[in-house]
Structure 1
Amino acid sequence: MFAKGQTVIQLMEQLAPKHLAVPDDRIGLQLGSLQKEITHVLIALDVTNEVVDEAIRIGANLIIAHHAIIFRPVKSLNTDTPMGKLYEKLIKHDIAVYISHTNLDVAEGGMNDWMAEAIGIESKESLEDVHTDHLFKLAVFVPHTHHEQVLQAILEAGAGSIGQYNKCSFNTEGTGTFVPGEGTQPFIGTEGQMERVEEMRIETIVPQSLRSKVLQAMLKAHPYEEVAYDLYAMDLKGRTLGLGRLGPLKQPKTLGELVEVVKAQLDVPYVRVVGDLNRQIKKAAVLGGSGSRYTLPARFKGADVIVTGDIDYHTAHDALMAGMCIIDAGHNAEKIMKPKTADWLRSRLEDKRYDTQVTASEVNTEVFQFI
């Protein structure tokens, strides 16, 4: 059985939820339809003619890419233009295109974590916070007979995390009263009569990102026809996620040694370097894509070097004067997302016993030639 397009994207958004994207980022479905069975997914960094030809060759009818194919508003769809021809080819072959960009960058276990792990950064923190998961307090009243069932359903859905502690809750006993109204079918009690039930009050913490999932799990496990529960916002902040990663290297290296690690682990033949190649690097920052505006913030947070792409001339001079090293590995270094995303999505589809295939694109979309 093949997964529906919406199912594939629901799984993808478990890795990179859309709400993590920075404002106005071009993400989500950009072309085609998800209202169909997906036989084969192609994971790509960019959507080029060569990538679309690859999708046609392997029979893929969904491309999940990192970079948008519609970045600016389209005023007309002229199929005589290069981009118009690309859109036409995708439509004629019924290939949908879905974009996961800054939400994949920000996501825990996503682009910037992959890049950080590849070059040996540990104890990672964000370079720039962009999303804080607001916390809610959930209190629900449950009969003794179903207390453990409802508690485990809530906690398994992701509630109860406080810092590094998981499945936290507080449980108190009490007596609940209610009168089942006309036409009700109460689990306990009789229509029109006051009922007193020994109940448990379960209290726990729910992050906003998991609120719907936790409530659905609670309602499904709860025996009552009408579930009594409270959900209210808290002043406490939950987990914060952001762009870029920063942390100490597992093993300090010279800048020259780190350059070789970057080239090997990110599969880039050349890099541009700012700084003394003999300088000892103890703390490093990484940011996929264009990182010019993050060089000095990385230095402010204690990084000796930032590994990123698309550094402009004047930013490089500013960094050098500030004592900050740069390894510009280019925008195409983000191709690390192709095998990582493919492996992640393939595993989830296999767990659900779908026959949908997932392939990492083998097309090199590096636009620059080094001569």
Structure 2
Amino acid sequence: MTAVIRNIDVFKAMEIWAPKHLAYDWDNVGLQLGSFHKPVEKVMVSLDVLESTVEEAIDNNVDLIIAHHPLLFKSIKQLNVDTAKGRIIQKLLQHDISVYASHTNLDAANGGVNDMLCDLLGIQKREIMDNNYTEKLVKIAVFVPHKHANDVRDAMSKQGAGHIGDYSHCTFQSPGQGTFKPLDGTNPYMGTQGEVAFVDEVKIETIIPAAKQMPVLDAIIDAHPYEEVAYDIYPVENSGVTYGIGRVGTLAEKITLEELCDRVKTAFAVQNARVTGDLAKEVKQVAVLGGSGEKYISRAKQMGADVYITGDMTFHAAQDAQAMGLSVIDPGHHVEKVMKEYTKTYLESHFTGKEIKVIVSKANTDPFQFI
């Protein structure tokens, strides 16, 4: 019998990729409306949750919307269904559609929105513009019989233990002998009640992000043959992976600012882009920040960027960038729509072989048009 997929299973999948603790403290990510436990057969990925998005979800019998921009960003003091926000919430509740948001945590995540934008532009050797989270690490050591060592190690690795750079399954193991005495009421995997057992075991130890401690422990316990699993956890001073929004990297070769504008329009499927600076100037070092990034112009310049690609650039901020010799390309906030196809692909890969369908919203939520 096929296992039922519930909303919480999809939320957990998203949080493997973009953990909620990567979000800025002013943000509102996670479940916005609905239930953790509702069965889900169809998911729709959208940039925004507007009335057009909700109507599209209703027409497609969607159970869950995964959005980038939160439906509930500011607190609501009344639920007035005569307003646009009220109507959206009313329709979602009437049709039992849940909404989940992955916002600045998806911006900061490895492979998240800013990396998607860089991928499409061919930007390499990337650095983070604004570091907002560094993982705390712990070391875990578990004692397991020899013949179960591989199973336990694999289970740990699948939950994020022993990942160092581009390597997984990074552990150290040492042989030893464990002892235990099963007491009344036990059902030991090996040994006899009332007698001390001596068992040849392996000690597997590795580094894990502190945020993944509980999933790793659960995986160890599920894979381990013993009723009671022996393990140690202790803090370490090693620095974990740093996450943040924005990226600064290089193009494969120098191109003119005008050529980069054309590349931006093609890559992000936009008809127009605002630009400051000399269009004939050659650029190679590029800063990218999806969404509204004008407050990071100084940081982009400090990191050596020739040009900064971001949305919602205001008049005086553009003047400031121009004065410091930093060109700006503003293709709009809406280019974050790239997250829709990437998220669809990720969820389909995560739930391969499961009874769940993922679609991408086709509703146009960009409020601007050019005439």
Length-normalised TM-score, structure 1? 0.93
Q: Deviations over 1:294-320 (max 9, x none)?
A: 111011111111111011112111111
From the superposition, tell whether residues 82 and 143 of structure 1 become closer, same or farther in structure 2 (CA, over 3 Å): closer
From the superposition, tell whether residues 88 and 153 of structure 1 become closer, same or farther in structure 2 (CA, over 3 Å): closer
CA distance in 2, matches of 1:220, 1:324: 54
1:207-356 to 2 correspondence within 5 Å? 207-349=209-351, 351-354=352-355, 356=356
Question: 1:139 maps to what in 2?
Answer: 141
**What amino acid maps onto 2:364 in structure 1?**
N
**Residue of structure 1 aligned with 2:162, choices 160, 163, 170:** 160
Give how far 1:126 is off: 1.0
From the superposition, tell whether residues 94 and 225 of structure 1 become closer, same or farther in structure 2 (CA, over 3 Å): closer
Asked whether the 8 Å contact 2:187–2:227 carries over to 1, the reply is: yes
Asked whether the 8 Å contact 2:284–2:306 carries over to 1, the reply is: yes
Question: 2:361 maps to what in 1?
Answer: 361
From the superposition, tell whether residues 291 and 347 of structure 1 become closer, same or farther in structure 2 (CA, over 3 Å): same
CA distance in 1, matches of 2:225, 2:334: 53
Question: 1:169 maps to what in 2?
Answer: 171
Q: Deviations over 1:101-122 (max 9, x none)?
A: 1111111112111101111111
Q: In the alignment, does 2:15 pair up with 1:18?
A: no
CA distance in 1, matches of 2:117, 2:136: 27
CA distance in 1, matches of 2:138, 2:54: 44
Q: CA RMSD in A?
A: 1.9
1:59-70 to 2 correspondence within 5 Å? 59-70=61-72
From the superposition, tell whether residues 321 and 230 of structure 1 become closer, same or farther in structure 2 (CA, over 3 Å): same
Give how far 1:198 is off: 2.6
**Residue of structure 2 aligned with 1:28, choices 8, 22, 30:** 30
Give how far 1:61 is off: 2.7
CA distance in 2, matches of 1:202, 1:347: 30
Q: Deviations over 1:252-311 (max 9, x none)?
A: 211110000001111111111111111111111111100011111011111111111011
CA distance in 2, matches of 1:6, 1:140: 29
Question: 1:117 maps to what in 2?
Answer: 119
From the superposition, tell whether residues 154 and 82 of structure 1 become closer, same or farther in structure 2 (CA, over 3 Å): closer
Give how far 1:199 is off: 2.3
Moved more, 264-273 or 160-169: 160-169
**Residue of structure 2 aligned with 1:128, choices 127, 130, 143:** 130
Question: 1:4 maps to what in 2?
Answer: 6
**What amino acid maps onto 2:344 in structure 1?**
A
Give how far 1:156 is off: 4.1
From the superposition, tell whether residues 58 and 195 of structure 1 become closer, same or farther in structure 2 (CA, over 3 Å): closer
Asked whether the 8 Å contact 2:51–2:84 carries over to 1, the reply is: no
Q: Deviations over 1:188-246 (max 9, x none)?
A: 33333333333222221112243223222222222222211101111101111110111
How many corresponding residue pairs?
369
SS state at 1:123 partner: strand
Q: Deviations over 1:74-99 (max 9, x none)?
A: 11111122222222222222222211
SS state at 1:90 partner: helix
Question: 2:105 maps to what in 1?
Answer: 103
**What amino acid maps onto 1:353 in structure 2?**
K
SS state at 1:37 partner: coil
CA distance in 2, matches of 1:12, 1:145: 34
From the superposition, tell whether residues 223 and 35 of structure 1 become closer, same or farther in structure 2 (CA, over 3 Å): closer
SS state at 1:141 partner: strand
SS state at 2:136 partner: strand
Moved more, 318-327 or 144-153: 144-153
> Where do 5+ consecutive residues of structure 1 fail to align?
none
CA distance in 1, matches of 2:82, 2:319: 43
Asked whether the 8 Å contact 2:108–2:114 carries over to 1, the reply is: yes
CA distance in 2, matches of 1:162, 1:40: 35
**What amino acid maps onto 1:277 in structure 2?**
L
Question: 2:370 maps to what in 1?
Answer: 370
Asked whether the 8 Å contact 2:117–2:288 carries over to 1, the reply is: yes
SS state at 2:105 partner: helix
SS state at 1:127 partner: strand
